[in-house]
Amino acid sequence: MPRSKIAGIGYYVPEKVVTNFDLMRYMDTSDEWIQERSGIVERRYAKRFEETTSVLGAKAARIAIERAGITPEEVDFIIFATLSPDYFFPGCGVLMQRELGITKTEIGALDVRNQCSGFIYALTVGDQFIRSGMYKNILVVGAEVHSMGLDFSTRGRNVTVLFGDGAGAVVLQPTEEEGKGILTSRLHSDGTYAEELAMINPGAHSGYHLRKLGLDADLGYDENQEFGGLFVTQKMLDEGKLFPTMNGQLVFKTAVVKFIEVINEVLQDQGYSPSDIDLFIPHQANLRISQFVQKKLRLSDDQVWNNIQRYGNTTAATIPIALAEAWEAGKVKEGDLLCFAAFGSGFTWGATLIRW
Ligand code: COA
């Protein structure tokens, strides 16, 4: 059975830099608070009316495709991970296919909705298709445009300051090279905490889960209306209930535990220990989370790649952006052992181990 190798990588971040000081013009926050809690100094925001999630994805994908030595027409499967899609439906996979000018229809396009762990999930799905022999050139993309939908008032500050826009892409191909490629992955989920980091509206939930959990389910639904009218209500608009919300402390506490557990799982599966890792690329959720994990695993600064200081949390895009940056900086060399790990909304989490 062939393994999957990453044959090409690319990333794209929008030109517009938004500093913590820029955000202070919109909400009650400070550079000191943001840096101290998250390590973030600045992030990028997409160009309004031009740069959508699928457009950013296509920009990263073109670079990955070229570096893989293929043309867009040779891609036979697209996996697109995002929580900020252009449309409710169809997904960004088909929109990016069109943006890339891929007109053949002998291709599949799949959207993955696993938020911060979206790239690990997408990569793992792609890996299975390569191993099964079904596809030969799989384009895996993680991309987000958060800036179009966040709450820029003080009410949304605990979430808004953390997130940025960007995209990363890889091309997966089969390899028969002994010991090379994706060695193993582990995926996890726990729906108990679904609402702790979520954007629940607009949606078809009609308050069902909230009522079951004993939470406030009064979203201004018209009890007399027989059909429709549940996705968006005037109350949601008036009270800012169309934005993401997060229980930051619970996310932080759970993330640090699950990161370490899942990294150890993939390492043990292959008979390695943390000291064997040449480069660890954590999902860029918060610099403090990454530093905690680094310390617990006793990794040196040289073994870890962080870029959240410059881009914020770009959710499904953080790992492929960081990987592409590290590769461009010469930090990813032939034969290196790489570990990716992510945790996020769902809660979902996972890790992947790759011999480059
Ligand atoms: N600027 C200034 N003050 C802010 C703020 C901001 N951007 N956001 C929140 N605050 C305030 C709160 O209102 C609160 O004020 P109060 O004490 O008067 O009520 C105070 O800061 C502390 O808030 P709290 O939420 O307890 O802060 P925290 O120390 O837990 O840090 C996070 C908040 C979000 C940085 C932290 O919990 C975190 O990083 N969690 C993980 C989040 C994450 O990684 N999410 C990505 C998904 S993987």
Q: Tell which one of 34, 37, 161, 257 to mutate to probe ligand 1, the residue whose CB is within 8 A of the most ligand atoms.
A: 37
Active site residue 137: no
Angstrom distances, CA of residue 225 to CA of 57, 88, 221, 228? 40, 23, 8, 7
Tell whether ligand 1 has an atom less than 6 A from the beta carbon of residue 37: yes
pLDDT digits (tens, 9 = 90+) for 56-112: 999 999 999 999 999 999 999 999 999 999 999 999 999 999 999 999 999 999 999
β partners of residue 174: 4
The pLDDT tens digits for 220-277 are 999 999 999 999 999 999 999 999 999 999 999 999 999 999 999 999 999 999 999 9
Tell me the mean pLDDT in the region 140-158. 97
Place 118 in a pLDDT band, splitting at 50, 70 and 90: very high
State how far the Cα of 313 lies from the Cα of 291, in Å rounded to an integer. 15
Distance 248 CA to ligand 1 centre (A): 6
Cα(289) to ligand 1 centroid in Å equals 13
Query: Can you list the positions of beta strands (E) in 24-165?
Result: 42-45, 77-81, 108-112, 138-144
- Is 116 in the active site? yes
Q: Active site includes 188? A: no
Q: Domains (ranges, CATH) in the chain? A: 3-175 (3.40.47.10), 181-193+246-355 (3.40.47.10), 200-242 (no CATH)
Of the candidates 25, 100, 114, which has an alpha carbon nearest to the alpha carbon of residue 61? Answer: 100
State the pLDDT at residue 1.
85
Say what percent of the chain tops pLDDT 70. Answer: 100
248 lines ligand 1 (CB under 6 A): yes
Q: What is the pLDDT of residue 115?
A: 97
Query: Is 38 a pocket residue for ligand 1 (Cβ < 6 Å)?
Result: yes
Placement of tokens 């003080």 in the chain: 154
Q: How much is the average pLDDT of 170-179?
A: 95
| Angle in degrees, CA 63, 68, 69, rounded to 5 | 100
33 lines ligand 1 (CB under 6 A): yes
> Measured in angstroms, how far is the CA atom of residue 340 from the centroid of ligand 1?
25
Tell me the pLDDT of the chain averaged across its residues: 97
